[in-house]
Amino acid sequence: MNWSELQKRAQPYLSPAWLERLRVQWTRRSVVRKLTDARGSKRTLFVDVSVISENDAGTGIQRTVRAVVALLLSESPPGWTVIPVAATRKCPYRRVLWPTSAIANCGDRILPVSGDVFLGLDFSLDAVYRHRRQLASFRRQGCKVWFVMYDLLPIQRPDWFSDRLVVRFANWLWSTACVADGFFCISSIVERHLREQLSRRYSLTAGFSTRVLPMGADLSSARHGRGMPEGFEALICQLKEERIALMVGTVEPRKGHADVLKAFERLWAHGRKYRLVVVGRPGWKNHELITALETHALQGSLLFWLKDVSDDALQKLYEACDGVIIASHAEGFGLPLVEALGHGKRILARDLEVFRVHAGFGITYFAPDSSELLLAQSIEDWLESPVGRAVPTLRDLPSWSDTADCIIWALNECPATDCAGGLGSSTHREQLLKPDQHERSY
């Protein structure tokens, strides 16, 4: 009995959720049944760059993709040939000459063989869903399929996102559940949430592996460039007249910009002259905040919203600021936090579990449910404290090279206890081999 016949028979008796679970299980059995493992001496790593090859928005995911792909291409991991690939709405996955060009036509067809790996590094929601049958065919040919999981917030907190994005993400997650051999998660919290969702939504508890990746703190390796905008040096000089707090990230509901702006308005009303610099493009479901930022009476004097900042300019802002505020209500990892640490900056962060893993770096936390008054007091105490201007003594932080190395080690199927080999200092090894950061197979 084929899938269509089974679906017709099951339709009157099963809910859509049950059908979804059944289809995941059916698809996984069909692709595993034909999987072989006869490796050649040289394996190919097909790395998905579908989104970034068309539009590099410079967000955290794009910086991660750009840095990791660049390192994989430049360092040529032993035993691997690395090929960037991309797909569009109409064209399945094809080879691309990244970063010089995007996919132009449906030529350069890729033909994985046993032992090769497809790595879903980019956040390619539509490409993966539309071409899930192609990815299933890769597995049948013996190619392993891995995806990077950045977070699961669109299905955990759909009220923070557009309805369309929530549907697209759900389709993408379902597609990965059907074909994935493994997932690289950007934090142990994301790994835990992923396993919970795969189990709850699809009854999927076996047949896949997970590994937590170290995220790089070196902004220069992920730099988008584009130089310094006109008049930027004068802006930096103006900002340095008072203490500067920096926020980095898309202006969307979960980033907590509204809470911070209200706290700063209270401080400004009491005569404080602190500068608040917001770096990030306008997002979604935030019309009132965006209007407030654009029309604020103190815009250009104490409040600065920089919507499109190159990484060169962001580097200067990190150097100039007195500290970085991370007010997110939820994160998969929080790349601006680690980048700020990489610049030796003090940090004021909402007290979230995902941020607590960095507590040893001297981060100051404020309560998740802080009132406007309490947050304003936390900001003032943090900025006025003598340590607010001090450069912290940091342990070594992971680099993007560590991220790329750990991907290759995992795909080489090394034992979990050997994953940190070649990643640098002993600090890296201790950090990467915590009990909750080893490979798990189910």
DSSP symbols for 274-308: -EEEEE--B-SS-HHHHHHHHH-TTBTTTEEEESS
Residues 324 and 408 grouped into a single domain: no
Residues 96 and 211 grouped into a single domain: yes
Strand 94-95 to strand 80-86: parallel, antiparallel, or no bridges (unpaired)? antiparallel
Residues 230 and 319 grouped into a single domain: yes
Q: How far is it, in rounded angstroms, from Cα 207 to Cα 190?
A: 19
* Domain presence at residue 3: no
Residues 244 and 144 grouped into a single domain: no
Residue-wise over 50-71: b if at least 16 C-beta within 10 A, else e? bbbbeeeebbbbbbbbbbbbbb
Residue with tokens 């389709």: 171
- The pLDDT assigned to 245 comes to 96
Residues 6+ positions from 64 with CB-CB distance below 8 Å: 121, 148, 150, 186, 215, 216, 222, 335, 400, 403
Instruction: List, for residues 267-322, the tens digit of each pLDDT value.
Output: 999 999 999 999 999 988 888 999 999 999 999 999 999 998 887 888 899 999 99
Q: Range of 415's domain?
A: 14-216+403-441
- The pLDDT assigned to 190 comes to 96
Q: How far is it, in rounded angstroms, from Cα 161 to Cα 153?
A: 9
Q: How far is it, in rounded angstroms, from Cα 284 to Cα 159?
A: 11
* Domain presence at residue 9: no
Residues 155 and 119 grouped into a single domain: yes
Residues 303 and 414 grouped into a single domain: no
Rg of the Cα atoms in the chain = 23
* Domain presence at residue 272: yes
Q: How far is it, in rounded angstroms, from Cα 138 to Cα 133?
A: 9
Residues 342 and 419 grouped into a single domain: no
* Domain presence at residue 28: yes
Residues 183 and 313 grouped into a single domain: no
Helix axes 257-269, 287-295, angle to 10 degrees: 40
Residues 33 and 161 grouped into a single domain: yes
Residues in the chain where the model's pLDDT stays below 70: 1-16, 18, 32-40, 57-58, 100-108, 219-227, 387-396, 414-442
Q: How far is it, in rounded angstroms, from Cα 195 to Cα 192?
A: 5
Q: How far is it, in rounded angstroms, from Cα 152 to Cα 154?
A: 6
Q: How far is it, in rounded angstroms, from Cα 353 to Cα 90?
A: 41
Instruction: List, for residues 432-441, the tens digit of each pLDDT value.
Output: 433 333 333 3
- The pLDDT assigned to 171 comes to 93
- The pLDDT assigned to 14 comes to 38
Residues 6+ positions from 8 with CB-CB distance below 8 Å: none
Residues 300 and 364 grouped into a single domain: yes
* Domain presence at residue 6: no
Cα angle value 339/344/346 (rounded, 5°): 90
* Domain presence at residue 8: no
Residues 90 and 238 grouped into a single domain: no
* Domain presence at residue 184: yes
- The pLDDT assigned to 343 comes to 86
Strand, helix or coil at 44?
strand
Distance of CA 230 to the CA centre of its chain: 30
Terminal-to-terminal C-alpha distance of the chain = 28
Q: How far is it, in rounded angstroms, from Cα 223 to Cα 235?
A: 21
Q: Can you list the alpha helix ranges (DSSP code H) found in 34-107?
A: 60-75
Q: How far is it, in rounded angstroms, from Cα 221 to Cα 79?
A: 24
What CATH number did the domain enclosing 361 receive?
3.40.50.2000
* Domain presence at residue 64: yes
Residue with tokens 């939820």: 330
Distance of CA 95 to the CA centre of its chain: 23
Residues 162 and 289 grouped into a single domain: no
* Total count of domains within the chain: 2
